[in-house]
């Protein structure tokens, strides 16, 4: 079953075209990973799926509903189906962990603090965090903060989770832990996952399918093996981490002068 359908998505900022007729489908319960370099448009795609950006043209369907045609109040209601893991976690430093996880319920319901606290504790347990609900984000490691953010993303039982660079800034062991959590949430809760990342090791280890986007254009979509074996030179250049052009002697001197090498 198709869960998300992106159809001929175009996005322009002033005269700059960031997305150029992007189209793909994501199936229910799938882990769909979008890879690409900085500025390629991958995070822009993610922001369209949750409705933070409106397309210049094109459609986005979630459960066969065109979210680009929804009014603001309808979109707010629709977003309850979607959890979002921000790149930096976006936790509130002044709130305790349980308050961060239960923030939606604190702000939008009349549930008691005890009820919300219990929901937060159960979601924290799902991401392997027990007994930290009364700590503040500043008391946690980077990996723990990321997991708290993930607990918040699943707090209201979404059907879809969008991950924006979930392993960014984490050490390899913690990155692998986050990868395992993404897979576990899909396996245990049948959550459809859309992951934007530049971390190729992560992408190839968790994805059911991968879309490679470059300069606003999708060059390839396929399983990890199909992407690895793609004959497209642009895809191969990216996954083999080759620069777009040779480093000339003049460029080498400039890089050395700026201490980039």
Residue 223 Rama label (left phi>0; alpha psi -120 to 50; beta): beta
Helices 142-153 & 172-189, crossing angle to 10 degrees?
A: 20
Report CA torsion sign: 166, 172, 173, 179.
positive
b/e map of 198-225 (b: 16 or more CB within 10 Å)? bbbebbbbbbbbbbbbbebebbbbbebe
> CA–CA separation, 106 vs 99, rounded Å?
8
> Which domains does the chain show, CATH number per domain?
2-91+159-257 (3.40.50.300)
**What is the predicted pLDDT for the residue at 19?**
94
Any alpha helices (H) in the chain, and if so which ranges? 42-49, 72-78, 97-101, 103-108, 113-126, 142-153, 172-189, 200-206, 224-228, 233-239, 249-257
> CA–CA separation, 157 vs 237, rounded Å?
39
**What is the predicted pLDDT for the residue at 63?**
93
Report CA torsion sign: 110, 112, 113, 115.
negative
Question: Do residues 227 and 220 touch, judged by C-beta distance below 8 A?
Answer: yes
Q: Which two tokens stand for residue 233?
A: 């030179």
Mean pLDDT by 10 residues, the chain (261 residues): 95 91 96 91 92 94 94 88 81 93 88 94 91 93 89 91 89 90 91 93 96 92 95 88 53 48 41
Q: Model's pTM, two decimal places?
A: 0.86
**What is the predicted pLDDT for the residue at 171?**
87
């Amino acid at each position: 079953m198709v869960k998300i359908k992106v159809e001929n998505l175009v996005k322009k900022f002033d005269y700059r075209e960031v997305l150029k007729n992007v189209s793909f489908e994501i199936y229910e319960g799938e882990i769909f990973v979008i890879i690409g370099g900085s500025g390629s448009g991958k995070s822009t795609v993610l922001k369209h799926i949750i409705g933070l950006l409106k397309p210049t043209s094109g459609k986005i369907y979630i459960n066969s509903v065109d979210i680009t045609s929804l009014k603001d109040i309808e979109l707010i209601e629709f977003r309850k189906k979607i959890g979002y893991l921000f790149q930096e976690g976006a936790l509130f430093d002044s709130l305790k962990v349980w308050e961060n996880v239960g923030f939606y319920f604190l702000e939008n319901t009349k549930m008691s603090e005890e009820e919300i606290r219990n929901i937060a504790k159960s979601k924290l347990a799902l991401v392997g965090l027990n007994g930290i609900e009364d700590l503040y984000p500043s008391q946690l490691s980077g990996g723990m903060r990321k997991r708290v953010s993930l607990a918040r993303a699943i707090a209201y039982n979404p059907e879809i989770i969008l991950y924006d660079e979930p392993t960014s800034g984490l050490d390899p062991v913690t990155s692998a832990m986050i990868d395992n959590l993404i897979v576990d949430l899909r396996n245990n809760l049948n959550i459809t996952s859309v992951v934007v990342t530049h971390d190729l090791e992560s992408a190839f280890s968790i994805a059911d399918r991968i879309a490679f986007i470059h300069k606003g254009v999708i060059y390839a979509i396929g399983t990890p093996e199909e992407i690895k074996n793609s004959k497209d030179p642009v895809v191969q250049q990216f996954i083999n981490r080759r620069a777009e052009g040779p480093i000339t002697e003049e460029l080498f001197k400039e890089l050395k002068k700026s201490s980039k090498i």
